[in-house]
Amino acid sequence: MSFSAPLLITAKRDGGQLGDDAINWLLGAYQRGDVAEEQMSAMLMAIFFHGLDHRELTTWTNAMIASGERLDLSGLSRPTVDKHSTGGVGDKVSLVLAPLVAACGAAVPQLSGRGLGHTGGTLDKLESIPGWRASLTNAQILDQLESVGAVICAAGAGLAPVDRRLYALRDVTGTVESIPLISSSIMSKKIAEGTQALVLDVKVGRGAFIKDERSLVLAETMVALGAANGVRTVAQLTNMDDPLGRCVGNALEVAEALDVLRGGGPSDVRALSVALAEIMLELTGIDDDPARHLDDGSAYALYRDMIRAQGGDPDAPLATAPLRETIFAPRAGIVQSVDAMKVGVAAWREGAGRARREDPVSARAGVIVHVRRGESVEVGQPLLELHADDDAHLAAGRAEIAGAVVIGEEPVDAAPLLLARVDASR
């Protein structure tokens, strides 16, 4: 059967369904260069408006997986489980979670990405550690999973390679927020990575990419894709109205994650790390208490082994910013809210994030949040602290952070962190 890109684009533009053979042909032809960028751009926009049903999306995702290689983790002596976050402000949980779950006896192949816009990237954070390297061969990944139990590294170019091109195209065509396209992008890489189980941390609220009830649809869609491919998958919806923890920025977040791994740190970072770890252990059948491994130092010891295995020096001091500016409370009262989006954008503008994937990032830039929703403050009390490498970036952060902390008179309860769990049976 022969296909043509214009006919398939027209069919989806008019709300029709694409057959399995048509989807496989389209993505294969695009990978070969037989479908032009402008044609795939039109198809992505048609999908943005009309979506993909479950059959179409499953076939689309499987075609993306089939565009490259798959890691084979079956030879490992431990059960495998991974976690993926849809992106948040101050979300350093991966740095805690990978060694924590490995300390409980699982193998955690955390193939991570870089930050874009107001959300930070796990690889950017870890690259603030002197000597640490993100790029590993498949053989090195397998060796580290067997010897250490955890690896956080960049996904190899061979895993779902067509997704790299589609991701870049979505970024410049206004189709990033399509739930089918987000789902297939995330799940194609996670399924190709070969893990037996997966926990999805789906962010909801001001600082999330998807801020409303569509986040539940995203969670349900990804869980269904995992189940269709034999990967035990659970999604946990979590609150991203407020920044997670008190530090936003690469080296700042590493330091805060280390506090948690040593048994301390902000209560919300610890609580989310333990909650996600418990689900990961449930999916692997391991009966253990992850909080115990934070308190007894075993998770921190495994973190150090993980960093050393990738060339990093866990004892090296982290870089600190030469310029800092504190924002003080203009009045006394009760903190009504701390806007995660404003904080995330401020850290981005200070240099902690990037507007384009090729942009450099600063290890030192970021924001420290000194107050939380519901806390009482006095006039002149520190609210926020900006960190930057130079005056221009400091001024950019200052402009974005205005109004991030709202102070009022009414008592405010802390927002719930864990919102809903989505299982395949839901």
Any bridge partners for residue 32, and if so which? none
Residue 379, Cα to own-chain centre: how many angstroms? Answer: 36
Residues 58, 21 contacting (CB under 8 angstroms)? no
For residue 25, give every residue at least 6 positions away whose Cβ sits within 8 Å of its Cβ, in sequence order, or none.
Answer: 3
Which residue is catalytic, options 82, 124, 163, 339? 163
How far is the C-alpha of 187 from the C-alpha of 181, rounded, in Å? 10
Residues 215, 237 contacting (CB under 8 angstroms)? yes
Residues 269, 244 contacting (CB under 8 angstroms)? yes
Determine the length of the chain. 426
Where do we find the tokens 């926020």?
Answer: 384
Residue 182, Cα to own-chain centre: how many angstroms? Answer: 12
Determine how β-strand 81-85 pairs with β-strand 197-204. parallel
How far is the C-alpha of 249 from the C-alpha of 318, rounded, in Å? 12
> Is 163 among the residues known to form the active site?
yes
Which residue is catalytic, options 67, 82, 83, 84? 84
Which residue is catalytic, options 94, 178, 185, 362? 185
How far is the C-alpha of 9 from the C-alpha of 12, rounded, in Å? 5
Which residue is catalytic, options 12, 83, 125, 170? 170
> Is 413 among the residues known to form the active site?
no
Which residue is catalytic, options 12, 189, 293, 393? 189
**DSSP three-state, residue 21:** helix
Residues 228, 107 contacting (CB under 8 angstroms)? no
**DSSP three-state, residue 242:** coil
One-letter amino acid of 159: L
For the sheet with 197-204, list strands across it.
81-85, 197-204, 232-239, 418-422
Torsion angle, CA of 231/236/242/246, rounded to 10 degrees?
A: -60
- Rounded to 5°, the CA angle 12-14-18 comes to 25
> Is 72 among the residues known to form the active site?
no
Tell me the catalytic residues.
84, 163, 170, 185, 189
